[in-house]
Structure formats: structure tokens, C-alpha cells
């Protein structure tokens, strides 16, 4: 009975970790002279229970969700894609070029091409580190990190240079055609269909990772590349594929930011969504089906932060700190294997004691 309780507690440890982070966060809020209860109430209340607030949450959820999936899939193959930020910039770049410079055509075709272009942009940006890792063994973390900055500067150049709107006060492109703008789903807020696409993709990816032989191959590579090779799996190909899929997903995130939120290519349009994706992926324990939940939570934090500041005066930057705490605690909680914990030792002792008692009983 106790064992069962302990197992459940252990399985939900991510939730406990988040709670712990929020508690430490409340200490920070107190230090700033604020009221944690009031702050959290406004934060979560505005983000999830107010129509406009929830709309903002959904808007932020779209890129975080997709960027999170962009980390999860390569992770399945044992690769760390920390280049989501760069990949989403490239996705935005390619899709806005497609939106603004392709010849006239039916809107459905045009939209499809924009989306494909965006995915291609992200995939391309992920292909570079993928090939370097698979064929040269170069650590993908460093390469993807560096490529982020290159992509950001590339877009900055494009939006401020050749693609810049005439007479614009700061670097942004011309507006995309009306019929390419993504449908809104929660009027009168800004929430767009991109987030729904993200949720559907999360489901699709979950199913394919778990129920298909393709998913089996990728998981095997992640668990044990040597055994995967022995099993006849082409490890290099799986690695490259995983990164390309991840890049395409991040590219999609950028695409939806252009097609669904800003309707233009802006310089520095992303507030670190790529990195938020990494956080979302870890909070979801690298399981695609949980990413929408963690993305929702993180988006809510972000959306609520500004509103909280306006309503209660508590600085929105504390939410950044809380985010850092959440990652720390969740990562720490996930790193604990049950065997290492004190509970496991207690349980083992109890089992031994029970066995001794049984033996004594049968001997008597």
C-alpha cells in the first residue's frame, strides 16, 4: 500500500517540482515587496480564465509548442537540438519570402507553399548540424547554438534591407496578402489556428513514435545506438531524419508567427521561443503528448507576466526567474531514478523485514 503511494508520488514528481519552483518564486516576490498570492492569482487568472488573457496565452503557446516538439523528436534519437530559435527564424524568413514574392495563385496553393517553405527553411538549418554530427561526430549543441545567432542576423539583414517596407520606422517587411493570414479561432482575441495545428502534430508525433516501426527505430537509436546498429537500423540516417523533422517543426513555429501573428517579417520577432521550447520539452519529459500541456503552462506564465505587472506592480522579470527555477527543479526531479531515492531503500528494508517475518512464521 505504502509502496503504491510512493510510486504515484514519484511518477508525479514533475508536478511537485513545478510547485516547489512556484514556492521559491513566491519568496522572490516577497523580497520585492509584493504579495505572492495576489501575484499568482493575477498571473494564472489572467492567463487562463480571462478571454483576452487566454487569447494571448494561445498566441504564445503556438511557437512554444512547436519549438518544444522540435526538441523532443531529435531527443528521441539522442540528439540535443538547441537550435530551435535559429530554425524558427529561418522558417519565418523562407515563408515570408514565399508569401511576398511568389507569383499570383490560388490562396490555398499559396498558403501551402508558404507553409512548406517555412518547414524547409527550418529543416535546412537543422540539416547542417545533423550532417556534421552524423558524419563527423561534431557536437550538435555547439553548432546549433552558433547557428541560432547567424540566423537571427540573417533575418535582421533581410528585414532591414532588401525586404524592408518603404519608409518603415524600424526593420520590418511589407505585409503579407490578406488571404494568407491564418484564421482566428477565439474572436475577438488574436489567437490563431497555428496552435491547433501544433496540438494535432503533437498527437500525430506521439502516435508515430509509439506505434510505428519508424518510431521504434528512432527510439532505439536514442536508447542505445550500438544496439540500433546491431538491429540493422541506419543510425546516421535516423539522426539526420530526426533533426530535419525537428527543424521543420521549428520552422513551422516561425512560419505561424509570420502568417498568424505579425503578418510581416520583423527583425528580432522571437523572444526566445526556441529556448522556451527546450524548457517545454524537458517539462514534458520528452514525450510529445505532454508538450501541449507544458507549452500551455509556459505560455500562460509569459502572457500573465505583463498583466500581473500591470495589475499588482510585481515585476514581470520574476517570471523569467521562476521559469529558470521550474527547469532546474523539473530536471532535477526527472534525474532521480527511483532506486537512488531514500524511499527505495526504505521500501527494500521493509520488504526484507517482511520476508524475515514470513520465514520465522513458517519455521515456528
Partner 1 sequence: MPEWLLIGSVTDVLGTTLRLSVPIAFAALGGVITERSGVWNIGLEGMILAGAFGAALGVFLTGQPFMGLIVGILCGMFLAAILAVLTITLGVNQIVSGIAINLLALGLTAYFARLIFGLDATTKALAGFTDWPIPGLMDIPVAGPVLFNQDPLVYLLYMLVPIIYWGLYRTAWGLNIRATGENPNAADTAGVAVFMVRYMCLIMSGALAAIGGAYIVLAQVFVFTEHMSAGKGFIALAAIILGRWNPFGAVLAALLFGFCDALQLRLQFANPSVPYQVFVALPYVVSILALIGFYGRVKPPAASGIPYRREAK
Partner 2 sequence: MPYITIDRVTKSFGTFKALDLVSIGIQKGAIHAILGENGAGKSTLMNILYGLYQPDEGEIRINDTPLNLNSPRDAIASGIGMIHQHFMLVESLTVMENVIMGLVRGARTIDIAFHEKRIREMSASFGFDLDPTAPIWTLPMGLRQRVEIIKALYRNAEVLILDEPTSVLAPGEINSFIAGIRKLRDAGHTILFITHKLEEVMQVADFVTVMRHGKVVHEAEAASTNTRELARWMVGRDVVFELKNRELLQKGVSGEAADVLTVEGLVAVNYRGIRALDDVSFTVRAGEILGISGVDGNGQKELAEAIAGLRPILAGRIVVDNRDVASLDVKARISDARIAFVPEDRQSQGLVLDYPVAFNMVLRSYDRPPASRRGVLDFAAIRKLGSDLARKYDVRLRSVDQLARFLSGGNQQKIILAREIEAKPRLLVVMQACKGLDVGAIEFVQNTILELKAKGVAVLYVSTELEHVLDVSDRIAIMFRGRITGLLNRDEATTQRIGELMAGIDSGVAA
Residue position matching grid coordinates 518510431? 215
Q: CB of residue 23 vs partner 1: minimum separation in angstroms? A: 15
> What DSSP line would sit under 128-150, residue for residue?
HHHHHHHHH---HHHHHHHHHHH
Please report, as residue ranges, which positions from 303 to 362 form the binding site for partner 2 (by CB under 8 A): 339, 348, 351
Note whether 73 binds partner 1 by CB under 8 A: no
Window 277-296: residues binding partner 1 (CB under 8 A): 278-279, 282
Q: Do 121 and 91 meet the contact criterion of CB atoms below 8 Å apart?
A: yes
Does the protein bind partner 2 through residue 190 (CB under 8 A)? no
> Do the Cβ atoms of 274 and 92 come closer than 8 Å?
no
Sign of the CA dihedral 321, 325, 328, 334? Answer: negative
Asked if 147 is part of the footprint of partner 1 (rule: CB under 8 A), the reply reads: yes
Shorter beta-carbon distance to partner 1: residue 205 or 322: 322
Q: Exposed, middle or buried: residue 130 (CB in 10 Å: 0-12, 13-18, 19+)?
A: buried
Task: Write the CA distances from 271 to 120, 295, 346, integer angstroms.
Answer: 22, 15, 46
Q: Candidates 103, 104, 169, 213: give the one binding partner 2 (CB under 8 A).
A: 213
Of partner 2, partner 1, none, which one sits near residue 353, judging by CB under 5 to 8 A according to partner kind?
none
Question: Which one of partner 1, partner 2, none interacts with residue 137, CB within 5 to 8 A by kind?
Answer: partner 1
**What are 198's strand-pairing partners?**
none
Scanning 103-111, 215-223, 288-296, 317-325 for contacts with partner 1 by CB under 8 A, the matching segment is: 317-325
Q: In this complex, which beta carbon is closest to partner 1, that of residue 1 or of residue 335?
A: 335
Closer residue to partner 2 in complex, CB, 178/342 = 342
Please state, in angstroms and rounded to a whole number, the distance separating the CA atoms of residues 273 and 253. 9
What gap in Å lies between CA 149 and CA 85, rounded to an integer? Answer: 9
Which of partner 2, partner 1, none lies near 227, with the C-beta cut-off 5 to 8 A by kind? Answer: partner 2
- Choose between 317 and 353: whose C-beta lies nearer to partner 1: 317
Note the residue count of the chain: 364
Alpha-carbon distance 55 to 190, whole Å? 6
Among 212, 268, 317, 353, the residue binding partner 2 under the rule CB under 8 A is 212
User: 334 with 282: CB under 8 angstroms?
Assistant: yes
**Residues forming the site for partner 2 (CB under 8 A):** 211-217, 220, 223-224, 226-234, 339, 348, 351
**Residues forming the site for partner 1 (CB under 8 A):** 28, 31-32, 80, 82, 132, 136-138, 141-143, 145-147, 149-150, 153-154, 156-157, 161, 275, 278-279, 282, 315, 317-325, 327-328, 331-332, 334-336
Amino acid at each position: 500500500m505504502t509502496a503504491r503511494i510512493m510510486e504515484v508520488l514519484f511518477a508525479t514528481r514533475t508536478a511537485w517540482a513545478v510547485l516547489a519552483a512556484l514556492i521559491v518564486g513566491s519568496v522572490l516576490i516577497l523580497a520585492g515587496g509584493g504579495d505572492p498570492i495576489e501575484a499568482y492569482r493575477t498571473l494564472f487568472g489572467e492567463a487562463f480564465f480571462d478571454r483576452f488573457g487566454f487569447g494571448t496565452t494561445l498566441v504564445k503557446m503556438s511557437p512554444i509548442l512547436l519549438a518544444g516538439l522540435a526538441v523532443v523528436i531529435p531527443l528521441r534519437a539522442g540528439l540535443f537540438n538547441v537550435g530551435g530559435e535559429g530554425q524558427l527564424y529561418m522558417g519565418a524568413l523562407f515563408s515570408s519570402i514565399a508569401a511576398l514574392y511568389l507569383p499570383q495563385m490560388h490562396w490555398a496553393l499559396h498558403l501551402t507553399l508558404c507553409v512548406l517553405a517555412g518547414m524547409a527553411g527550418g529543416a535546412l538549418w537543422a540539416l547542417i548540424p545533423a550532417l556534421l554530427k552524423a558524419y563527423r561526430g561534431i557536437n550538435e549543441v555547439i553548432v546549433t547554438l552558433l547557428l541560432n545567432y547567424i540566423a537571427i542576423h540573417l533575418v535582421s539583414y533581410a528585414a532591414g534591407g532588401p525586404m524592408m517596407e518603404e519608409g518603415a520606422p524600424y526593420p520590418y517587411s511589407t505585409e503579407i496578402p490578406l488571404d494568407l493570414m491564418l484564421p482566428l479561432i477565439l474572436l475577438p482575441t488574436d489567437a490563431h489556428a497555428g496552435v491547433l495545428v501544433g496540438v494535432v502534430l503533437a498527437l500525430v508525433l506521439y502516435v508515430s513514435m509509439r506505434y510505428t516501426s519508424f518510431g521504434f527505430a528512432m527510439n532505439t537509436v536514442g536508447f542505445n545506438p550500438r544496439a540500433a546498429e546491431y538491429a540493422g537500423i541506419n543510425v546516421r540516417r535516423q539522426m539526420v531524419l530526426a533533426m530535419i523533422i525537428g527543424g521543420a517543426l521549428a520552422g513551422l513555429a516561425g512560419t505561424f508567427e509570420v502568417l498568424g501573428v505579425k503578418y510581416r517579417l520583423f527583425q528580432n520577432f522571437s523572444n526566445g521561443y526556441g529556448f522556451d521550447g527546450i524548457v517545454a520539452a524537458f517539462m514534458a519529459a520528452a514525450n510529445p503528448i505532454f508538450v501541449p500541456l507544458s507549452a500551455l503552462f509556459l505560455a500562460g506564465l509569459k502572457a500573465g507576466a505583463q498583466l500581473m505587472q500591470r495589475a499588482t506592480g510585481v515585476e514581470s522579470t520574476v517570471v523569467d526567474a521562476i521559469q529558470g527555477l521550474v527547469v532546474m527543479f523539473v530536471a532535477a526531479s526527472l534525474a532521480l531514478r527511483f532506486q537512488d531515492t531514500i524511499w527505495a531503500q526504505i521500501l527494500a528494508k521493509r520488504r526484507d523485514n517482511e520476508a524475515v517475518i514470513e520465514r520465522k512464521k513458517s519455521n515456528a
